[in-house]
Amino acid sequence: MKHSIDQETVGPFAEPMASAIEACVHCGFCLPACPTYNVLGQEADSPRGRIVLMKQVLEGELDEQDIAPHIDRCLGCLACESACPSGVPYRDLISPFRSRNSVKKSFLVRLRDKLISLTLPFPGRFRWALRLASCSRFLAFLLPGPFRPMAELVPKKIPSYQPLKDRYPAKGEKRCQVALLAGCAQQVLAPKINQFTIELLTEYGVEVVVPGNQSCCGALDWHNGGLKQARKLAENNLSVFPADVDWIVTNAAGCGSGMKEYGVLFEGTDHQSEAKKIADKTIDVSVLLSQLDFSKRAVGRPQPKTLRVAYHDACHLSHGQHVRSQPRALLQSIPGIELLGINNTEMCCGSAGTFNIDQPEIANQLGQSKAQAIADSGAEFLVTGNIGCIVQIQNHLQKLGSPIKVMHLVEFLSRHSSLA
């Protein structure tokens, strides 16, 4: 089977893609875990269905255009990987497949995608685009169809720019040195997440450096088929992130997962081994805080009253990086926290990069279900580790009229005693 894939269309990705396809035994255990299969109920919109369709395209039996709607509807949430008993590495298949970029899209969709690719990964441009969109909010009804979901996502208030210093020394004895990936959209939508991350880490004896000329991690482009730009952005990061730091810390699930995929992104290039080293050094802030015994700080600071908290698993933390227990353990280490479960917790909230712009109907259904499950949990606070999930869940909780406050884990860990 490996040899029947047309090597020319997938280049250096042929081998990992063929291995992923070959590993699937078509058992169907992944189907109930897949958000689009849950919403649409069709085999072609399931992981197993998509694997078969991609295989047929790669072997020249099907035209890519015919299967494009099913591939476009994949959130890239990787829930299928977690559910798969055969260990099919779905991520090795979907992004390389999309990077072939041979599907014809309408002019407006191409224009919208180009606009996203030229603004969202660049904080300065993204901030200006949001300001412009915010000022012309009343004209949103004039936007053509593919652009309308973007208008809904423009926040009412855009936080002011908060520049970061190059270096933040550790408080007390220095235990390690890390470099922080500042993120692109997150820096603009919620700059306080980086501030809280730096405060927590330095308090734990971590020196934090923030390479000033770093780029977006490239995940947004990589997951949307923009291989060239993803590599360009990531290549810059390979050159500016110091090789001698102990860790590269991320505080957005999608970015962390994206950096951990650098080895695949640079498959077959001269940068591959360097990219793998960066991927191995990448760590989510919750995992590092767990290693730094955060619980010792929390003990001795009793809560004035019990806070009911639910934790939402961002897909690119749980499925993408297998980080589930550490954020929960950090929350449980705070006295007076009641940690509540959310029904169907492993199901995506529908944010998934730009999915809520590209596939607004499915994203809305998933967002509504997630918001309802959170409201049913009885929580006062919803804590998570990804800016995309924060925006999506906040929007849908507001639509439900729920008063639940949504915040990033580092914000909750920093502010919990003032929240009670």
d(CA 178, CA 248) in angstroms, rounded, equals 6
Of residues 90 and 168, the one with the C-beta less far from ligand SF4: 90
Among 3, 8, 26, 270, binds ligand SF4 (CB under 6 A): 26
Q: How many residues lie near ligand SF4 (CB under 6 A)? A: 26
Of residues 202 and 368, the one with the C-beta less far from ligand SF4: 368
Q: What are phi and psi of 291, to 5 degrees?
A: -70, -25
Classify 309 as helix, strand or coil.
Answer: strand
Closest CB 401 distance from ligand SF4, rounded Å: 29
Of residues 334 and 349, the one with the C-beta less far from ligand SF4: 349
Burial classification of residue 324, based on how many CB atoms lie within 10 Å of its CB (0-12 exposed, 13-18 middle, 19 or more buried): middle
Count of residues making up the chain: 420
Closest CB 352 distance from ligand SF4, rounded Å: 8
Binders of ligand SF4 in range 89-148 (CB under 6 A): 90
Of residues 79 and 153, the one with the C-beta less far from ligand SF4: 79
Among 5, 30, 248, 342, binds ligand SF4 (CB under 6 A): 30
Among 16, 35, 226, 367, binds ligand SF4 (CB under 6 A): 35
CA distances from 336 to 85, 305, 307 (A): 38, 6, 6
Among 4, 65, 86, 269, binds ligand SF4 (CB under 6 A): 86
Of residues 51 and 190, the one with the C-beta less far from ligand SF4: 51
Closest CB 73 distance from ligand SF4, rounded Å: 7
Among 10, 18, 21, 24, binds ligand SF4 (CB under 6 A): 24
d(CA 275, CA 350) in angstroms, rounded, equals 29
Which H or E run contains 408?
strand 405-408
Long-range contacts of 139-146, Cβ-Cβ distance < 8 Å, separation of 24 or more: 144/108, 145/108, 146/106, 146/108, 146/109, 146/112
Of residues 54 and 188, the one with the C-beta less far from ligand SF4: 54
Of residues 78 and 337, the one with the C-beta less far from ligand SF4: 78
Binding mask 56-85 for ligand SF4 (x = CB under 6 A): ------------------xxxxxxx--xx-
d(CA 114, CA 109) in angstroms, rounded, equals 8
HEC sequence for 359-393: CHHHHHHHHHHHHHHHHHCCCCEEEECCHHHHHHH
Whether the CB-CB separation of 399 and 374 falls below 8 Å is answered with no
Q: What are phi and psi of 266, to 5 degrees?
A: -100, 20
Residue 18 in the binding site for ligand SF4 (CB under 6 A): no
Interface residues with ligand SF4 (CB under 6 A)? 24-30, 33-36, 47-48, 50, 74-80, 83-84, 86, 88, 90
